[in-house]
Chains A and B, each alone.
Chain A
């Protein structure tokens, strides 16, 4: 019926066909799947190098400066995609097609392992540079490396988590609203949920946290082997993962907004007093500010239930299909140096993975008026110290299984039986 749907479905076939025609005409047999041996070409001053980021990397100012500087060897153009999931899909298909990507691409931390896996890492240029060895926090640096030590990605930011909360709603519920006092409600997960139940009784219209998914993610980031064992074997039937799932499922009816992260209802909950607390990595600040620009009362507590947790943090990589790998490497290098990562933090709150940038921010110790003059850099630095490196272990299927787990949790949010939903989840993981 729908004409559009037909043509959509045919796109890959059409591409194959076009490919077949091209190979008939030119006598070439290689179709798609560009290797690293493609011809490289140099860029002139007025030529443009392209980069794609998702969500908000805070590069606008940096790129503007670069383009205004007559000394720079080429110009830069950034494409911003609003959601990682959308970009992940485009990235994956374009890698398979061997064409269509920008010279620099941003990759989300949880998905990095799948691109480092054997076979996949060939699709990226080797951007190893011994000079950069001490630039980033070690575990982030290693996370952008294959097992053979080939650097595929330069770390942009890390995601040490604090708890953001609504001080005004806390007051209404008779809970301590000052950050130092409020922090005592969030010391471990049991206290966190118990405080939530207290809160829910006082302010029944507001939920305790933003979504079941984000709490699950936060708890998951403290599990050593959530989905895969060290030798990449899929194992989702472990007790620790089940415990996270059961806890989240248990509190869904009372404490969760049941909204899906990043969707309209979730976004709306920021402004209409939908919830009172949320796990808050640095990059979430920009999200809160843009979702609730007029809400007064957002505050940050320098604490995270159960110690520390790192949520996300991305990489810049150069696909092998890029015709300008040297220049791309140069740009990725520039965007992740200390000055750039400080600028990005000031623009969006993305906490730098760059060690020197972290030190600069700690020395500046600026206050953020939006969050009740909280010293955000200091808080995130403290939170980063609490993070255990290498936690959790992320295997090559981490991102895929995480997606399925979030879906399972959404089913519970929608009213499905938790046990049944878990069964569907394990079944789906088995079929990956």
Chain B
């Protein structure tokens, strides 16, 4: 600023006045320009479809029509809300979410803590945890689908050897949730581990040193130093895995590839995103009903993510005190 001011004093005529104004604009608006691309892209491929979906959910739309029909008010919402399959899908989604996200975050934290120690071949171990994440989810679902096959699957073969009756991985509701949650955990634990590990490594080492001089053991250090220090990252991991978990699609979709009834014959493992997808293929008003279901899913995710955020923060606050 000082520099500019002195320059302006030296030559108060036109061009430098413009330059001055330009440089003021530069300081003021350039940052907004720098971040603008994201918001432009988001507005076009995120916000607009989101709003259009909401708009669409209040209309009818013939199955093969090119345009939407008459406005129908809240009929699409009441249709979705009164659908027993939709309610089942909510329970399925939350069930699979709890079976995946909760153990996933806990296990990821523990593994990260282990990786944070002075292991031999540290980089190798760290790379290895990310390996499942590299596998395409569709390929992973196929592999796990073979493992959890009802008649010839590896999982049931092992149970048979141990002397336990084979489990109907596709027909039993809880078993199907477990199988799907296993696929999700296998894939995403390593990813979360690395994020948490990065946060752990940012914790100043001298705190640990003074703690061990004070006689705190490893476990104590983990609870009283590591966890409180990585609080923002934990909140991030928990919130993102909540959002992802509630949108789960690929794994359950490929768990049973029968297109006539995605998500099991009795809708045992049909999730909300699958419900949206299926509704878009149904006979009457496919798109508006799917749009209504998508908005309900959106609200549910926002609600749970918010709740999650508040609870995590409250718990962490108390542990800090």
Interface residues of A (CB under 8 A from B): 1-6, 8-10, 12-14, 16-17, 20-21, 32-35, 83, 85-86, 88-89, 92-93, 95-96, 98, 114-115, 119-120, 122-123, 260, 263-265, 397, 400, 403-404, 406-408, 410-411, 413-416, 421, 424, 427-428, 431-432
In the complex, B103 has a CB within 8 A of chain A: no
B120 to chain A, nearest CB (A): 32
Q: Please, which residues of chain B bring their CB within 8 A of the CB of A20?
A: 44, 48
Q: Which residue of B lies closest to A401 (CB)?
A: B283
Is A431 a contact partner of B83 (Cβ separation < 8 A)?
yes
Residues of B within 8 A of A12 (CB): 280
Chain A residue contacts of B249, Cβ below 8 A: 2, 5, 8-9
C-alpha gap A32/B61 in the complex (Å): 14
Please give me the residue from chain B that is nearest to A265 by CB atom: B151
**Which residues on the B side are within 8 Å of A115 (C-beta)?**
64
Does B261 sit at the interface, judged by CB under 8 A?
A: yes
The 5 closest A-B pairs by CB, nearest first: A33-B66, A1-B244, A13-B49, A5-B249, A85-B259
A88 contacts which chain B residues (CB < 8 A)? 259
Asked if B188 CB lies within 8 Å of chain A CBs, one says yes
CA–CA, A3 and B133, complex, Å: 11
| Complex alpha-carbon distance, A410 and B260, angstroms | 11
* B49 with A414: CB separation less than 8 A: no
Q: Which residues of B contact A34 (CB under 8 A)?
A: 66
> Given the known A-B contacts A86-B259, A93-B281, are A427 and B44 also in contact in the complex, defined by CB atoms under 8 Å?
no
In the complex, what residues of B have CB within 8 A of residue A411's CB?
265-266
Instruction: Output the nearest chain A residue to B136 by Cβ-Cβ distance.
Output: A4
Contact present for B247 and A5 (CB under 8 Å)? yes
Q: Which residues of A contact B277 (CB under 8 A)?
A: 9
Q: In the complex the two chains form, is B64's CB within 8 Å of A410's CB? A: no
> Do the beta carbons of A2 and B250 come within 8 Å of each other?
yes
| CA A120 to CA B284, docked complex, whole Å | 12
Nearest-CB residue, chain B, relative to A21: B44
Residues of B within 8 A of A6 (CB): 244, 247
Q: Are B266 and A1 in contact (CB under 8 A)?
A: no
Majority DSSP secondary structure for residues of A touching B = helix
11 interchain pairs (CB within 8 A)? A6-B244, A16-B48, A20-B48, A85-B258, A85-B259, A89-B281, A93-B281, A119-B63, A263-B258, A431-B79, A432-B284
Q: Mark B7-24, 1 if CB is under 8 A from A, else 0.
A: 000000000000000000
With both chains docked as a complex, state the minimum distance between the C-beta of B130 and any C-beta of chain A, in angstroms. Answer: 14
Q: Is A403's CB under 8 angstroms from B260's CB?
A: yes
Q: Which of A10, A122, A407, A431 sits near B261, CB closer than 8 Å?
A: A407
| B241 on the A face (CB < 8 A) | yes
Contacts of A96 in B (CB 8 A): 63-66, 286-287
A14-B45, A397-B283 known; A1+B138 contact, CB < 8 A: no
A22 to chain B, nearest CB (A): 11
CB distance from B159 to the nearest CB of A (A): 18
Contact of A403 among B187, B247, B261 (CB under 8 A): B261
CB within 8 Å: A-B pair count: 141
Task: Write out the residue numbers on chain A whose beta carbons fall within 8 Å of the beta carbon of B260.
Answer: 85, 403-404, 406-407
Please, which residues of chain B bring their CB within 8 A of the CB of A14? 45, 49
The distance in angstroms between the C-alpha atoms of A404 and B283, with both chains bound, is 12
**Contact of B100 with A by CB under 8 A:** yes
In the complex, what's the smallest C-beta–C-beta distance from A86 to chain B, in angstroms?
6
A125 CA to B287 CA in the complex, in Å? 24
Closest to A408 in B: B265
Q: CB within 8 A of A5: which of B151, B259, B273?
A: B273
Q: A1-B188, A1-B245, A32-B66 are in contact. Are A13 and B137 (CB under 8 A)?
A: no
1/0 per residue, CB under 8 A from A, across B223-265: the answer is 0000000000000000001001101111101000011110001
Residues of B within 8 A of A86 (CB): 259
Nearest residue (CB) in A for B242 is A1
Across-interface contacts of A32 in B (CB, < 8 A): 66
Given contacts A414-B265, A431-B83, contact A1 B151 (CB under 8 A): no
Q: Taking the nearest CB of chain B, how far is it from the CB of A252, in angstroms?
A: 13
- Give the shortest distance, in Å, between A91 (CB) and chain B (any CB): 10
Bound-state CA distance A119–B248 (Å) is 34
Q: Is B52 close to A, CB under 8 A?
A: yes
Whole-angstrom distance between the Cβ of A348 and the nearest chain B Cβ? 23
Other than the given A5-B137, A9-B273, A404-B261, 6 more pairs (CB < 8 A) read: A2-B251, A4-B250, A8-B249, A9-B276, A10-B45, A98-B66
Q: A17-B49, A89-B281, A432-B283 are in contact. Are A1 and B241 (CB under 8 A)?
A: yes
Asked if residues A400 and B283 are in contact (CB atoms below 8 Å), the reply is yes
Q: Contact flags (1/0) for B198-215 with A, using CB distance below 8 Å?
A: 000000000000000000
Smallest CB gap from B250: residue in A = A5
Residues on A with beta carbons closer than 8 Å to the beta carbon of B251: 2, 5
Measured CB to CB, the closest approach of chain B to A2, in angstroms, equals 5
Contact call B265/A410, Cβ cutoff below 8 A: yes
Query: Known: A407-B261, A424-B266. Is A2-B137 also a contact (CB below 8 A)?
Result: yes
Which residues of B61-119 have CB atoms within 8 Å of chain A's CB atoms?
62-67, 79, 83-85, 100-101
Q: Is the pair A92, B281 in contact by a Cβ cutoff of 8 Å?
A: yes
Q: How far is the CA of A115 from the CA of B64 in the complex (A)?
A: 9
* A404–B261 alpha-carbon span in the complex (Å): 8
Which residues of chain A come closer than 8 Å to B265, judged between CB atoms? 407-408, 410-411, 413-414, 416
- Are B266 and A17 closer than 8 Å at their CB atoms? no
When the two chains form their complex, are residues B247 and A16 in contact, meaning their CB atoms are under 8 A apart? no
- Answer whether residue B195 sits at the interface, using C-beta atoms and an 8 A cutoff: no
Choose among B62, B171, B253, B283 the residue that contacts A414 (Cβ–Cβ < 8 A). B171
Cα–Cα distance between A414 and B253 once the two chains are bound (Å): 19
| Interface status of B155 (Cβ within 8 A of chain A) | no
Please give the distance in Å from A208's CB to the nearest CB on chain B: 19
Q: Judge if B149 is at the interface, Cβ distance under 8 Å.
A: yes
Q: Which residue of chain B lies nearest to A427 when distances are taken between CB atoms in the complex? A: B84
B137: chain A residues at CB < 8 Å are 2-5
Which partner residue on chain A sits nearest B63 by CB separation?
A: A120
A16-B250 CB under 8 A given contacts A21-B44, A263-B258, A416-B266:
no
